[in-house]
């Protein structure tokens, strides 16, 4: 049984699922209840998102304004490094809690949710791979908010899906490493306090020879590209990065030499569960706008909510959204329970992002011509949601991961 958080305002949320070993690697029935901490976290994040984030979202979109003050505030709350354990200075939020955070942010401004998600990818890698001295220098400032956002720099102009084909090179030069190459579509580019960069240390092809480095902002040879003129999520500050004989100390190598590909893929696996939460947040916001509009708008002498076509459209949205919730919470629960959750995370991300796209599209349709106006928030959600099927692994890549788990 599942009571979605949106359909029930209070009470515990219980998931009771049976799952097949073939898809999620778990041959068991499990039930899960949100803890008191999850309720508190969700309530406080929803209030913060509603009161502090949502009011400025349209302006940030129009002015392509990076949410610096909100990032600082979320940083002080520990949200930029939410999943980092207390022993490393973080608040030790579990994957379920992290998903709830991104859902709340996604409801108010999914561009900001993307900034938070990218920073958390970096924080988790630093927490798992960095030495104590490196954590002190780069992770702690993310945990306290002093560093603001962090950028996760994997994708290149030549491709993102095939991360193993990256061509940014790094060669050892005495006590330093020298980086050359370019990254593309980097969230928080130009605003980050930490850039975590994946580069090829060896000429070996594929997954071998890739290592992880921190590049500090302002390092000579690091050039930040222009803010990409994006369709949506315009506040998230997406840029290219260029490394031109960019020299960094050898002490900036994070984790083992040639361990970068594994670190990137593993952090993205769990990160996708959070992105599913952000997708659900957008869809919840869209559905709520659609419901409100359907009750207010009249046609043929009655509110359009009275037409069965509108009701069926809304019923389909609620049903599909609850299904996305279930898959997302299953993935989060599996992850927290220490099970392998690659396929479950990909299913959650695939279904949540595609469901969100459908829901936002239907809710825009329900708004008629006004849905096409910038003066109605559904228009921004329509633009903001489209990239959810593309970043942190396209829908096609999620299907590849799921298919792989079947054999
Ligand atoms: C707003 C935004 C923010 C982003 N933020 C970041 C960030 O912070 N850090 C970062 O590193 N990256 C980031 N990205 C990059 C994003 O992760 C990539 O765009 C994505 O992984 C796809 O890579 P690509 O654009 O190079 O498309 P390609 O890899 O060139 O793919 C093009 C098309 O081919 C399909 N395709 C590719 N390979 C296969 C295959 N084997 N089988 C079937 N279909 C296939 C893809 O699904 C896609 O439809 C961001 C992108 C955007 C738009």
The confidence score (pLDDT) of residue 83 equals 97
Q: Can you give the pTM of this predicted structure? A: 0.94
Domain boundaries, the chain: 14-149, 152-261, 264-406
Close Cβ partners of 350 (under 8 Å, ≥ 6 residues apart):
395, 398, 399, 402
CATH of 264-406, one of 3.50.40.10, 1.10.3720.10, 3.40.1160.10, 1.20.140.10: 1.20.140.10
CA of 390 to the centre of ligand 1 (A): 6
What's the CA gap between 73 and 90, in Å, rounded?
A: 15
The confidence score (pLDDT) of residue 31 equals 59
The confidence score (pLDDT) of residue 205 equals 76
The confidence score (pLDDT) of residue 56 equals 98
What tokens appear for 7 in the block? Answer: 């359909």
Angle at 97 between CA 37 and CA 231, to 5 degrees: 140
What tokens appear for 375 in the block? Answer: 């003066």
What's the CA gap between 234 and 237, in Å, rounded?
A: 7
CA of 406 to the centre of ligand 1 (A): 23
Intervals of the chain under pLDDT 50 = 1-29
Q: 276 near 350, Cβ under 8 Å? A: no
What's the CA gap between 307 and 300, in Å, rounded?
A: 10
What's the CA gap between 323 and 51, in Å, rounded?
A: 28
CATH of 14-149, one of 1.10.10.10, 3.40.50.10470, 3.30.43.10, 1.10.540.10: 1.10.540.10
- In the structure, which protein residues have their CB atom closer than 6 angstroms to any atom of ligand 1? 118, 152-155, 159-161, 185-187, 230, 233, 238, 387, 390-392, 394, 396-397
What's the CA gap between 264 and 269, in Å, rounded?
A: 9
Superfamily of chain region 152-261: Butyryl-CoA Dehydrogenase, subunit A, domain 2 (2.40.110.10)
């Amino acid at each position: 049984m599942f009571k979605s958080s949106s359909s029930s305002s209070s009470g515990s949320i219980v998931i009771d699922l049976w799952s097949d070993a073939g898809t999620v690697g778990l041959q068991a029935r499990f039930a899960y209840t949100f803890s008191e901490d999850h309720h508190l976290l969700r309530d406080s994040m929803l209030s913060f998102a509603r009161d502090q984030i949502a009011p400025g979202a349209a302006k940030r979109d129009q002015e392509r304004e990076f949410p610096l003050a909100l990032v600082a505030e979320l940083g002080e709350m520990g949200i930029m490094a939410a999943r980092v354990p207390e022993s490393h200075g973080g608040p030790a939020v579990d994957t379920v809690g992290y998903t709830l955070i991104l859902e709340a942010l996604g409801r108010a401004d999914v561009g900001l949710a993307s900034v938070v998600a990218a920073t958390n990818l970096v924080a988790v890698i630093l927490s798992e791979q960095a030495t104590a001295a490196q954590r002190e220098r780069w992770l702690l400032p993310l945990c306290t908010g002093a560093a603001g956002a962090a950028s996760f720099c994997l994708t290149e102009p030549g491709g993102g899906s095939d991360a193993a084909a990256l061509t940014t090179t790094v060669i050892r030069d005495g006590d330093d490493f020298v980086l050359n190459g370019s990254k593309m579509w980097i969230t928080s580019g130009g605003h980050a306090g930490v850039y975590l960069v994946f580069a090829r240390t060896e000429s070996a092809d594929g997954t071998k020879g890739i290592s992880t480095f921190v590049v500090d902002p302002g390092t000579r040879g690091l050039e930040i590209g222009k803010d990409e003129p994006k369709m949506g999520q315009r506040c998230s500050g997406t840029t290219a990065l260029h490394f031109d004989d960019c020299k960094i100390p050898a002490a900036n190598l994070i984790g083992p030499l040639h361990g970068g590909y594994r670190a990137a893929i593993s952090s993205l696996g769990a990160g996708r569960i959070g992105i599913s939460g952000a997708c659900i947040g957008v869809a919840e916001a869209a559905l709520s706008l659609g419901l409100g509009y359907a009750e207010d708008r009249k046609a043929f002498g009655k509110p359009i909510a009275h037409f069965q076509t509108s009701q069926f459209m809304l019923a389909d949205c609620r049903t599909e959204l609850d299904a996305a919730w279930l898959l997302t919470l299953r993935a989060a629960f599996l992850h927290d329970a220490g099970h392998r959750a690659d396929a479950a995370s990909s299913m959650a991300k695939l279904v949540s992002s595609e469901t969100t796209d459908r829901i936002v599209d239907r809710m825009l349709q329900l708004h008629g011509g006004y849905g096409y106006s910038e003066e109605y928030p559904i228009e921004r959600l329509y633009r903001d949601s489209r990239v959810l099927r593309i970043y942190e692994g396209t829908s096609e890549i999620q299907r590849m991961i799921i298919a792989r788990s079947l054999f």
